[in-house]
Structure formats: structure tokens, C-alpha cells
Structure 1
């Protein structure tokens, strides 16, 4: 295991992200992404959250109440994006959904699909359909072997059953039941790194394969780069690939992606009520700061009555992962080429 001191040295060997564009600034906030906790029924190899069934961290009633107050008091919030862990199994999932939908917000739930078959969660597909939640589901490849290597034995088969279930409910077909899939590249075994393929072309391949073999349809494929955080970072460190991977990402920096970075119009909130510029900064413990250099919390946002307290976005070398090639975000690629 590489020590934290050596890790810092490796990070510093990469050109500081902000050097490639002057200070990265926040735009008007319209997306609230909430990480409800780190408990999950899976422990995926590439998980930047390092979630697992053994994790116990999750939202408290107090923070849940504060988040609902945010949703109720700020009409500028257009999207409430729920993630985890497995968000469906964590405290606050249904109360936050109810509050957001009552205010007419779009609600995204980032699902691992397999949660539907765990005891106590078989109502989730129907619940999502009833409330017209947008489902963004992880399926890092359309081939069983690749998925199971990243996510665990049998996950591909279970995911296929879940997608068929969602299709039966109208997902991927009815205009108000959106089903998007997420592709992640396989983790490297040597210094032969690759960015995600062109999103449009890969989406076509996914749709053809899943329809032909399983009768599955979906709306959009989102390609997301594996950022060197959490288990991905540990995986790279064990193989002495962390530093080369950072260099690879930096070498593929694409300035045209910067305008579209997800961190610019969103706030990321953790289960403790702390505020970050994005989910990746959250997992790296790099908090958002106000113009006065104060660390932000949900309570401070409520006290100020203002979501737009951040001027400069906090950045780190892993930000090259979001700006390499066509770019990467929770909404997929940022530019076409």
C-alpha cells in the first residue's frame, strides 16, 4: 500500500488542475445531489464510494429534515439526484422523494438494480414508476463476464432481470419513465489505459445487444470515467498504476469540457449534511467553501437563505478524469468529440 505521503507526492507531480484554466467558478445552482450513505448490498471493485454491506453510514433524521427544507424553500432546484451506496435502502430515500416530487422536481435515483431482489425492497420498481423517478442504473458492460468481474458473481444476470422488470412497468418506453444505463471502462491491468468509447456509438451497441438477447430497451447510455478515488484508487495503487493513470488523464485534457462540468451547477451533500462541489470531492473529503473561505453545511445554506454562496470550485488532480477526452459526469459525456 502506498503511503499518504507518497500519494501526495504523486498528486503534486501532475500539473495542478486549476493551472489549465483560471479559477473554476460556480454557476447558478439548480441540481442537488445527495449521497444518502455508504451502505450497499454490493461491494463493486470500481466503487469510488467504497460502499459495501458492512458499511453503516447513512443519513440521520435531522439532516433529512434539513434537506427537505432546502427542497421546499429553493425553487431554483430543478433536479434532486439520490445516490449512495444503494440509495433505495438508506434512511431518507422515500421522504426526500416525496418532498421533491410534491414540489415538481425531477428526481434521479442511481440504482445498482440488484437491490430490487433483496428482502424488503421488492416494492422499489413499482414505487419508482408510481412517482415517475428517473432511474440511472449501473451496467458497466453488456457482457456478463465483464460486469461480474467489476461488480460480483451473478450481478449481470440479476441486473438483466431487473431491467426486464422495469421495462414491464413502462421504463424505457413511456415518456415519463426514463431509464438510463451507465458504462464504466474496465479497470486496467497494465499501463494500457483507455477512455470510454464514443457515447453515441457505444449506446447503439448496447441497445442492439440488449434488445436482441434479452428484449430490453432503455433511453440513454451514460459513459463515466473511473476517477482514481476510493476502491479505484486502491486498485491502481496496488498495481503501481496510480501515478501513470493520473498522467494519462492529464494528457487527454480537453478544455471544451470545462464549460459543462457537473460541479459548476450542483451541490453535493453527504449523509452528515456537509456540502461539496461534487460527489468525487465528497469522497476525497474536499469540502466546498464560501467566498469567505468558510466550509459549507446544509444548516449554513438554510441560515443564509442562499444556495449560491460558492465562488471558486475546489479542484484536485483527479478532476482530469472529468475533463479527459469527451469528458465525464453523472450525466455521461460532456462533449461529442
Structure 2
């Protein structure tokens, strides 16, 4: 079999991918989660124990208070709510006037000790981003586990009950991603975000009486469990080629890695969450890797000039583009 040759991403765009002013901190609090989704790029689950330490949590709080350029603190995991530091970081960020995003799986509300989360989210005006990879139950349960769809629907109802999607200050966004392929003729990019959002809203309102603000469409990036799945199916290289074939240069100026720092539970710095999971650290112009402690010592967030890139970057630049905020272009 002829090995597919993927064009290096930096060659495709013709120049290094440069960093802009840092306005977003995305913090992965750890790998503890009450679910083990087959597409999870973090490879999180109930048996994982890695999580934020008190030392790194305190450093992050200092970082959040020190730098006015930070507009958004984006908390992820695992289930971020299960990992150490979730509430301290929420409250420090809100006290500093930052927008806070929590990437919730919705089913955490039904675990012992977490029933108060919807009220806590509303009290702190957290923007909730929640995975619902399809509006049909069979597709969701196939990707995320039996019964997850029904619990997710109940979770959205709990959020609606405390004002989400009706109060303009309480934003609930859902996330769609395609099903994982079983053959080369099943490689898909997300459909147009606006039309799919309308379909979601109609179906979920008519069948369950639930509401949300926006649908964010994400491409499946070949990392984590998705990468392992594709490799088992002998589809990893063909899928990378599919992503490269659908490269859209108009997405490049809008890539999320350009204005964010991704921070892991050990305090290491990456350009994005995907680089974090693939172990590709951010670097200064001198080739030095970074930690939260080093940023505090430097007195600046803007010490990275060039984003580290890899073949999976084609996942963020294929078609309409893909980011933690959904499609990048119309």
C-alpha cells in the first residue's frame, strides 16, 4: 500500500502561523470524567485520576488577576466540574471581570454531589458549551454511551429551568460533530452551521420543549481516541488526506490558536487544546517551553511568536473551519 504523503501545514499556508495578543485562557483541569466517549480527544474517563494541583491553581488565579488582556477563561477537562480547582477558578475569573466558559457534558448534573451545578452556573453567569453530537438519540448514544442522550436532554431542561437560553446573560451553546467513519466513503465535514442549528432548534423544541442559543459545529480531529479509532480502521492517513484536500485558506486568520493559550493540569503551556493532547508544547522564539510560573516570572502572556503546527491542523482549516467556538467562516 502506498503511504499517503501529507503536506506539512506550514508549507500549505506558505509562512509560519503567528500568534496574536492573548485574550483567551483555555484550562484543562484534568482527565477525570463520568463518561468515556469514543471520540474524546482527551481520553478522559471515570478511571483517570490526573487533575490540577493546588499550586498550579493558585498560579492560574494570579495569572487571571494580573493580565487585563484576558477576556475569556475557558474551563475544560474531562468533566471540568469533577476536577480540583473548578470553583476557585470560576470565582476568581468572575471577580476579575472575565467571561467564563464551562465545557460541560450535561450528564454530570446527575452524579452524586453535582446536582447544584445548574444553579451554580446561573449564579456565576457561566457560558455553558455542551456536547450533543446529534439531535437524534441513537447517534448520540453510539458516540457517548447508552443513555447519554436522555440524560443530556434532562440536563438541558435543568439549565432552561434556571434561565439558560431565555435570560440573555445565560448562554447555552451545543456542539455537533460528525459520526466517526467506518470507511473512506464516510469521511464528512460538518454541514453548514446555521442550517443545522435551525434543524436542531426545531427538533428539540418540538419533541422536548427545550431551547439553546447557538450550535457550534466541530470537525473530528484525528487525535486522542479518534486517532486510535482511525488507526484501527486503517483510516488515519486517508482521513488526514481528506482534511488536507478540503483545506480552506480563508479560515487561517480566524484560528483559535492565534489568540489563546492552552494550559494543562500540570501548568504547561500549549498553543491549543489539540497540541496539548498530542504533547506539542508552545515555544518561545528561543525554543524554550513554557509554564504558568514562567509566564508570571516574565510578566507577559505574549512571549510566543509562532504557533506550533502539525498535520491535524488541517482539521481546523477544512471546509468552514473548526474551533472551540464552532465554524470559522460561512
- Consecutive unaligned residues of structure 1, counting only runs of 5 or more, are 1-8
Q: Give the match for residue 112 of structure 2.
A: 119
**2:4 is the alignment partner of 1:20:** no
Matched residue of 1:71: which SS? helix
Q: Give the match for residue 299 of structure 1.
A: 293
Matched residue of 2:101: which SS? strand
Instruction: Provide, for residues 213-253 of structure 1, a one-character-per-residue CA deviation record: whole Å limited to 9, x for no partner.
Output: 00011000000011000000000000000010000000000
**2:38 is the alignment partner of 1:48:** no
**2:262 is the alignment partner of 1:262:** no
Q: Give the match for residue 222 of structure 2.
A: 228
1:13 is displaced (CA, Å) by 2.0
1:155 is displaced (CA, Å) by 0.1
1:57 is displaced (CA, Å) by 0.4
TM-score w.r.t. the length of structure 2 is 0.98
Instruction: Provide, for residues 126-176 of structure 1, a one-character-per-residue CA deviation record: whole Å limited to 9, x for no partner.
Output: 000000000000100000000000000000000000001100111011010
| Alignment map for 1:78-117 (pairs within 5 Å) | 78-117=71-110
Q: Give the match for residue 182 of structure 2.
A: 189
For 1:15 and 1:162, locate their aligned partners in 2 and report how far apart those are by CA, in whole Å.
43
TM-align CA RMSD: 0.9
TM-score w.r.t. the length of structure 1 is 0.96
Runs of 4 or more, structure 1, over 6 Å off, are none
For 2:155 and 2:171, locate their aligned partners in 1 and report how far apart those are by CA, in whole Å.
15
For 1:122 and 1:90, locate their aligned partners in 2 and report how far apart those are by CA, in whole Å.
16
1:20 is displaced (CA, Å) by 1.3
Q: Give the match for residue 318 of structure 2.
A: 324
Q: Give the match for residue 169 of structure 1.
A: 162
**2:278 is the alignment partner of 1:284:** yes
For 1:142 and 1:190, locate their aligned partners in 2 and report how far apart those are by CA, in whole Å.
23
1:69 is displaced (CA, Å) by 0.5
For 1:89 and 1:242, locate their aligned partners in 2 and report how far apart those are by CA, in whole Å.
32
| Alignment map for 1:128-167 (pairs within 5 Å) | 128-167=121-160
For 1:58 and 1:307, locate their aligned partners in 2 and report how far apart those are by CA, in whole Å.
23
**2:169 is the alignment partner of 1:203:** no
Q: Give the match for residue 4 of structure 1.
A: none
1:291 is displaced (CA, Å) by 1.3
Q: Give the match for residue 29 of structure 1.
A: 22
- Consecutive unaligned residues of structure 2, counting only runs of 5 or more, are none
For 2:307 and 2:328, locate their aligned partners in 1 and report how far apart those are by CA, in whole Å.
18
For 2:271 and 2:143, locate their aligned partners in 1 and report how far apart those are by CA, in whole Å.
27
